[in-house]
Amino acid sequence: MIRLKAPVLENRELGPGLYSLWLAIEGLNEVQPGQFFEFRIRERFLRRALSIADQKGRNLRFVLKTVGSGTQWLAQVRVGEMLDLIGPCGQGVKIPDQGPVMLLGGGVGSAPLLYLARRLSEKGIKNDAVIAACTRNELILVEEFKEVCREVIVSTDDGSSGHKGLLTEVVRTLHQTTQAKVLYACGPEPMLAALKNIGLKQPVYAFLESRMGCGMGLCVGCAVKGRDSRYHRVCLEGPVFDLTEIEL
């Protein structure tokens, strides 16, 4: 984990409030899917966390959704601007030895799964993705997923594209679900909570969010409650947890 300055190579709007940033990162060791960077922003004192969404050589991609002044500031950075980041933070996902793997992305939560899909496909592990969103224009990265997944299933809550219904409902009906050895899910908390309750037999790993102080294990600000009723640090032990190990 290091602090670095990285120039913005591209900032593109993907949908309403959804932006894709490519940054050039120098002097960085390997990064893992699930890891994130802490971005210094104007307007707020603390950094903001964004997950690695993709990688091309030294360049890293981040996808963000504007939800407050921090992400709004990040959404307006211009090409050439230097961003101040710390990372990579958190534990990367342990890439499983065999597939098939199923990736479940809700909303902007699909972003970190793209990088996971890429790494899986590089290792020759079969993976299918369900990319879900409330509505059509909030679906992100579908074309990119198609490049690295065996199959990409799209679903929207309002049926404006792909399957109609909540991601969890769709997942239940898919034959890929039963085939998968392991599932990775990233999305809003209600989605993760629902996934817990649809009786999947396989391990499900969830990419969690939480309000973070430092992202580096210094402050214990990022607690998430474990099954053992203790708090775990999302930034240090996570952000990826076995879904059965945490309370949602």
Ligand X SMILES: Cc1cc2nc3c(=O)[nH]c(=O)nc-3n(C[C@H](O)[C@H](O)[C@H](O)COP(=O)(O)OP(=O)(O)OC[C@H]3O[C@@H](n4cnc5c(N)ncnc54)[C@H](O)[C@@H]3O)c2cc1C
Ligand Y SMILES: Cc1cc2nc3c(=O)[nH]c(=O)nc-3n(C[C@H](O)[C@H](O)[C@H](O)COP(=O)(O)O)c2cc1C
Q: Which does 224 bind (CB under 5 to 8 A by kind): ligand FES, ligand X, other proteins, none?
A: other proteins
Q: Residues 10-29 vs other proteins: string with x where CB under 8 A?
A: --------------------
Contact with ligand X (CB under 6 A) among 33, 70, 88, 162: 70
- Beta pairing class for 151-156 and 127-133: parallel
> Could you tell me the smallest distance in angstroms from the CB atom of residue 237 to ligand Y?
18
Q: Where are the alpha helices (DSSP H) in the chain?
A: 69-75, 110-122, 142-148, 167-173, 175-179, 189-196
User: Residue 51's binding partner, choosing from other proteins, ligand X, ligand FES, none, with beta-carbon cut-off 5 to 8 A by kind?
Assistant: ligand X
User: Nearest Cα to 101, choosing from 115, 114, 117, 112?
Assistant: 117
Residue 100 to residue 210: CA distance in whole angstroms? 29
- Rounded to an integer, what distance in angstroms lies between the CA atom of residue 111 and that of residue 185? 11
Nearest to 63 by CA among 20, 14, 15: 20
**Given candidates 212, 224, 240, 246, which one binds ligand FES under the rule CB under 6 A?**
212
- Any idea of the CA torsion for 117, 118, 122, 127, to the nearest 10 degrees? 20
Shortest distance, position 174 Cβ to ligand Y, whole Å: 43
**Rounded CA separation 60/148 (Å):** 17
Closest distance of CB 201 from ligand X, Å:
27
Residues 190-229 that bind ligand Y (CB under 6 A): 213, 219, 221
DSSP-derived secondary structure letter, 166: -
| Residue 69 site contact among ligand Y, ligand X, ligand FES, none (CB < 5 to 8 Å, cut-off depends on kind) | ligand X
Binding region for other proteins (CB under 8 A): 3, 40, 42-47, 86, 210-214, 216-225, 229-231
Binding region for ligand X (CB under 6 A): 36, 44, 48-51, 62-65, 67-71, 108, 111-112, 209-210, 212, 234, 239
